C-alpha cells in the first residue's frame, strides 16, 4: 500500500463538517470560516521516545497528538474547528494506523474537529498536527494579562499524568493515572467560559511552576503565591507515592493539559475550577508546600517530557 | 540554547502583517482573516535523505520546505497568507538555523507569507510546514473539473529540477538547473490569474504524467493527449543530457512545482503559460514523443523524489 492508498483508506472518510468545502485528496483543503471570528492556529510535533514511550499503543498516540494541540487552542479560549495531520511512519502498519485513527478521530469527534488534510511520509515515527480554532479576536486569552492581586486558578488536578507515566514505566499499564497520561482531555469546554473573563491563561504542558513562570514573564515580570494544599486531587492520585512525590508531580509534572489562568480579584471562580493562589508584584514564585511551609524562589524547571 | 531560546532568537522576529494579531510566543497565534474569503490549508513534511539530499545547504532546505507548501496553495488558486513551522533538529546548530531562516524568510517575504507559530523538537532532521491561503470559495481550483475537449496547459518548463538533482548528485552544485531543484518558485502569481478560469489544476510535484493522471482520475476517468515538443524549454536544459534523458525528466521528473491546468476550449491561454495538449474522453494518456511518435498508455510512474 503506497502513500496514496494510506490516505485514501484511513483518512479520506473523515466526517465533513458544513464548514469543510473540500477535504483531504486535492492539493489543499477549502474551508469556510465563521464570519467575524478570529482564527487561532497551533502546531506541535510528537516524536516516539521523546513525547511518548517507544511502543506506546497507537490509539494513545493518536489521541495525544490531537489533544496536545487542542489544549493550545483551549489556552486561547478558542473553539477548535479544523486539523491537519502529517504522519512520518517507518512502514505502513495497518493495525497501528487503525489504532491511531481510533484515538485521533474519537477525540476529534468529541471536540467537533474536522481533519481536512495532511501528509504521510516514510521515516522515523513522528506525528505533527496543526489545528485551527475560532475565537472573537478581542476575547482571545493571552499569557500577558496577569496583574498583581489577580486570583490564580486551575481547571483541574495536575500531577496525574506524571504519576501515570511513572506507573507505565514501572509496568502498570492500566488505571486512571495511566489514562490521564495516555488520553488527556483538553479543556476546550471550560476554555469557552473563560473567553473575555480570564486576564491570562496557559495550558500546563511543561509543569505547573514552569508554565506559571511563562505567564509571570509574559505579564511583565511579576510573581505569585501558590498553595499546594489548594490543588485539586483524585483518590487514585492520593494512593500514589508519598506526599513529597505527589507534590513533585503536581508542581513539576507536565502532560495533564489543565489550564492555568488568572481572574480579576472580584470575579468569581467558574464552577469546576479552583483558586490555587494569587498574583503578586514581587518577581518570584512563593510556594506553600503540603506541610504548610513557605518556599521562596523554588527551582523552576520545565518538564522535559519523559526523557527527563 | 534550549528550545525556547531557539524560537526567540530565530523565529519571533518575523515581520507581523496587519492580519496577525498575535504571532509566535503564546500558546497559539491569533489571526484576522479577510471577510468573505474561503481558507485553503495544506501541510507537507520534508525529511532529510528523502525529500532533499543529506547535507543539502540549509538555505535551500528552508526555501524548499515553504515552496512545496505554497505550491499546493497555488494549485488551488489561493493567495498565501500564514505559515506554521515545526522543526525537528538533531541539535541546535546556529549556522544551520541562520541558513534555514534566510531561505525560508526570503521566500516568505516575496510571497507575502507571515510565519505565525510552530514548534521545535530534538530529533532526526525533518521539517513540517503548514500554510493557509485565501480564495473566494467558489473560485478555488480543484483537480476534478477537467472535461474532454479542454486545453491542457502548463505554467512553465518541467524537467529542470530533475536535471538539477542529477547534476547535484554528480557533484555539480551550481547553475540554473541545480537552482531549479534547490529553490523552486511556487506559481502563486500566475495562480491568481487562473482563479475561476481554469477548469482544473494541480501542481507538478510527482511528475507531469503522474500529476496529469491525478487530474484525469479526479475528473471521472478521462484521458489526455500530450505533445512533448510543446513543453517549454530553457537553454540550460537543452544543453543537459540527450533527447531521451530530457524527455524522461520532462515527463517523470518532479519538484519543478509548475502548475498543470485545463481550460475550456474557447478560452485563451494566459500569457506566460503554454498549451501542451488536450483532454480526451478515452481513459488513457497518449504522448507524442520528441521524435513525433505517438505512445499509448505510457507507463505512469510517480516521481518518488530523490530516493528513486
Quote the pLDDT of residue A10: 77
Q: Give CATH 3.90.650.10 domain extents, chain A.
A: 141-302
**Shortest CA distance from A39: residue in chain B:** B31
Question: Is A128 close to B128, i.e. CB distance below 8 A?
Answer: yes
Interface probe, candidates B4, B20, B38, B43, chain A, greatest A C-beta count within 10 A? B43
Distance CA B232, CA B190 (A): 16
Give me the interface pTM, i.e. the ipTM: 0.91
For the whole model, what pTM was predicted? 0.93
How far is residue A158's CA from residue A259's CA, in Å, rounded to a whole number?
Answer: 10
Q: What is the mean pLDDT of residues B44-54?
A: 94
Cβ–Cβ of B28/A42 closer than 8 Å?
Answer: yes
Are A21 and B38 in contact (CB < 8 Å)? yes
Tell me whether A6 touches chain B (CB under 8 Å): no
pLDDT of residue A15: 61
How many pairs of residues across A and B have Cβ atoms under 8 Å apart?
A: 186
The three cell numbers of residue B79 are 493567495
Banded pLDDT at B91 (limits 50, 70, 90): confident
Task: Say which CATH architecture domain B141-303 belongs to.
Answer: Alpha-Beta Complex (3.90)
The residue-averaged pLDDT of A122-148 equals 95
Q: Residue A181 above 60 pLDDT?
A: yes
The predicted model gives A177-196 an average pLDDT of 96
Does A204 score more than 90 pLDDT?
Answer: yes
Beta pairing class for A29-31 and A114-122: unpaired
Residue B306 confidence (pLDDT): 36
A287 touches chain B (CB under 8 A): no
Tell me which residue in B86, B142, B203 faces A22 most closely, judged by beta carbons.
B142
Whether residue A19 lies within 8 A of chain B, CB to CB, comes out as no
Which residues 226-265 on chain A approach chain B with CB closer than 8 angstroms?
A: none
From the CB of residue B265, how many other CB atoms can be counted at a distance below 10 Å?
12
Which stretches of B72-144 are assigned E, i.e. beta strand? 79-89, 114-122, 126-135
Residue carrying the nine cell digits 510571497: B111
pLDDT of A304? 41
3-class DSSP assignment, residue B299? coil
Task: Residue A194: count other Cβ atoms within 10 Å of its Cβ.
Answer: 24
Q: How far apart are CA A212 and CA A223, in angstroms?
A: 9
C-alpha torsion sign, points A97, A102, A105, A107: negative
User: Is the Cβ of B136 closer than 8 Å to some Cβ of chain A?
Assistant: no
Closest CA to B223 of B182, B269, B256, B262: B262
The A259-263 sheet, strands edge to edge: A200-203, A259-263, A151-154, A274-280, A223-227, A285-288, A294-296
pLDDT class for A9, splitting at 50, 70, 90?
confident
pLDDT at A89 over 80: yes
> Could you read off the pLDDT of A27-75 as tens digits, one per residue?
999 999 999 999 999 999 999 999 999 999 999 999 999 999 999 999 9
Confidence of residue A16 (pLDDT cuts 50, 70, 90): low
Q: Could you tell me if residue A75 is left (phi over 0), alpha (psi between -120 and 50 degrees) or otherwise beta? A: alpha
Contact B238, B157 (CB under 8 A): no
Distance from CA of B298 to the nearest CA of A (A): 20
Q: Give me the residue from A41, A47, A218 closest to B117, CB to CB.
A: A41
Q: Which pLDDT band holds residue B308 (cuts at 50, 70, 90)?
A: very low
> Is pLDDT above 90 for A174?
yes
**In chain B, ranges of CATH 3.90.650.10 domains:** 141-303
User: How big is chain B, counted in residues?
Assistant: 308
- Subunit contact B35:A35, Cβ cutoff 8 A: yes
Using the structure block, give the residue that is written with the C-alpha cell 464570519.
Answer: A35
User: How far is C-alpha A246 from the chain's CA centre?
Assistant: 20
Cα–Cα distances (Å) from B58 to A213, B111, B219, in that order, read: 34, 20, 39
- What's the mean pLDDT in B148-156? 98
Would you say residue B5 has pLDDT above 90?
no
User: Which grid cell is A53?
Assistant: 514511550
Q: Which residue has the higher pLDDT, A200 or B13?
A: A200
Q: In what order do the strands lie in the sheet with A114-122?
A: A114-122, A79-89, A126-135, A38-47, B29-31, B20-22
CB crowding B11-23: b at 16 or more within 10 Å, else e: beebeeeebbbbb
When CB atoms are compared, the residue of B41, B75, B201 closest to A29 is: B41
Torsions phi, psi of B183, nearest 5? -135, 65
- Residue A143 CB-density burial (10 A; 0-12 exposed, 13-18 middle, 19+ buried): buried
Distance CA B218, CA B195 (A): 19
The answer to whether A131 and A83 have CB atoms below 8 angstroms apart is yes
CATH 3.30.1330.10-classified regions of chain A: 3-138
Chain B contact present for A33, CB below 8 A:
yes
> DSSP H helical segments within B156-295, as ranges?
160-169, 176-182, 188-194, 208-218, 235-238, 243-252
Q: Out of B8-12, B63-67, B198-202, pick the least confident.
A: B8-12
Distances (CA, A) of A46 to A99, B63, B86: 16, 24, 10
Residues of A in contact with B27 (CB under 8 A): 42, 72-73, 75-76, 143, 201-203
A130·B50 Cβ contact <8 A: no
Of B164 and A17, which is predicted with more confidence?
A: B164
| Residue B1: pLDDT over 50 | no
The C-alpha atoms of residue B259 and residue B282 are separated, in whole angstroms, by 23
Average pLDDT score over residue span B185-211: 96
pLDDT at residue B307, as a whole number: 35
State mean pLDDT over B246-253.
Answer: 95
CATH superfamily, with its number, for domain A3-138: PurM-like, N-terminal domain (3.30.1330.10)
Q: What is the pLDDT of residue B291?
A: 87
Contact criterion met (CB < 8 Å) for B76 and A116? no
Percent of chain B with pLDDT over 90: 83
> With 80 as the cut, is the pLDDT of residue B185 above it?
yes
The whole-angstrom separation of Cα A7 and Cα A24 is: 8
Chain B residues within 8 A of A39 when measuring between CB atoms: 30-33, 39, 132
The mean pLDDT value of chain A amounts to 92
Nearest CB to B41 within list A86, A116, A133: A116
pLDDT given for residue A306 in this prediction: 36
Q: Averaged over B302-308, what is the pLDDT? A: 39
Cβ separation A128–B133 shorter than 8 A: no
pLDDT in tens, B124-147: 999 999 999 999 999 999 999 999
CB contact under 8 A, A142 and B78: no
Place of cell 494569587: A278
Fold of A141-302: Phosphoribosyl-aminoimidazole Synthetase; Chain A, domain 2 (3.90.650)
Is the distance from CB of A76 to CB of B27 less than 8 angstroms?
yes
* pLDDT mean over B192-218: 96
Mean pLDDT (whole number) for B233-248:
96
Separation of first and last alpha carbons in chain B: 37
| A44–B75 CB contact, under 8 Å | no
DSSP assignments along B1-35, one per residue: --HHHHIIIIITT----TTEEE-BTBSSEEE-PPT
Amino acid at each position: 500500500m503506497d502513500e496514496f492508498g494510506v490516505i485514501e483508506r484511513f483518512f479520506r472518510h473523515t466526517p465533513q463538517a458544513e464548514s469543510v468545502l473540500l477535504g483531504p485528496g486535492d492539493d489543499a483543503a477549502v474551508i469556510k470560516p465563521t464570519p467575524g471570528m478570529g482564527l487561532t492556529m497551533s502546531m506541535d510535533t510528537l516524536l516516539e521516545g521523546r513525547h511518548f514511550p517507544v511502543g506506546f499503543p497507537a490509539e494513545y498516540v493518536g489521541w495525544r497528538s490531537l489533544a496536545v494541540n487542542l489544549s493550545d487552542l483551549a489556552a486561547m479560549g478558542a473553539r477548535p474547528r479544523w486539523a491537519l495531520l502529517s504522519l512520518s511512519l517507518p512502514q505502513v502498519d495497518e493495525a497501528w494506523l487503525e489504532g491511531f485513527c481510533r484515538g485521533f478521530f474519537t477525540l476529534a469527534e468529541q471536540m467537533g474537529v474536522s481533519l481536512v488534510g495532511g501528509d504521510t511520509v516514510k521515516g522515523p515515527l513522528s506525528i505533527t498536527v496543526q489545528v485551527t480554532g475560532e475565537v472573537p479576536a478581542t476575547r482571545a486569552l493571552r499569557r500577558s494579562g496577569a496583574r498583581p492581586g489577580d486570583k490564580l486558578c486551575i481547571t483541574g488536578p495536575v500531577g496525574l499524568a506524571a504519576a501515570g507515566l511513572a506507573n507505565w514505566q514501572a509496568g502498570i499499564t492500566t488505571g486512571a493515572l495511566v489514562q490521564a497520561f495516555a488520553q488527556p482531555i483538553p479543556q476546550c469546554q471550560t476554555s469557552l467560559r473563560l473567553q473575555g473573563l480570564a486576564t491570562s491563561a496557559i495550558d500546563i504542558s511543561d509543569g505547573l511552576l514552569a508554565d506559571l513562570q511563562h505567564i509571570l514573564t509574559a505579564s511583565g515580570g511579576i510573581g505569585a503565591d501558590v498553595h499546594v494544599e489548594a490543588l485539586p486531587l483524585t483518590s487514585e492520585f492520593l494512593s500514589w507515592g508519598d506526599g513529597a512525590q505527589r507534590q513533585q508531580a503536581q508542581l513539576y509534572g507536565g502532560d495533564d493539559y489543565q489550564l492555568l489562568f488568572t481572574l480579576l480579584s472580584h470575579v468569581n471562580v467558574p464552577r469546576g475550577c479552583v483558586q490555587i493562589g494569587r498574583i503578586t508584584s514581587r518577581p518570584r514564585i512563593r510556594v506553600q508546600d503540603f506541610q504548610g511551609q513557605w518556599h521562596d524562589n523554588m527551582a523552576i524547571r520545565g518538564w522535559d517530557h519523559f526523557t527527563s
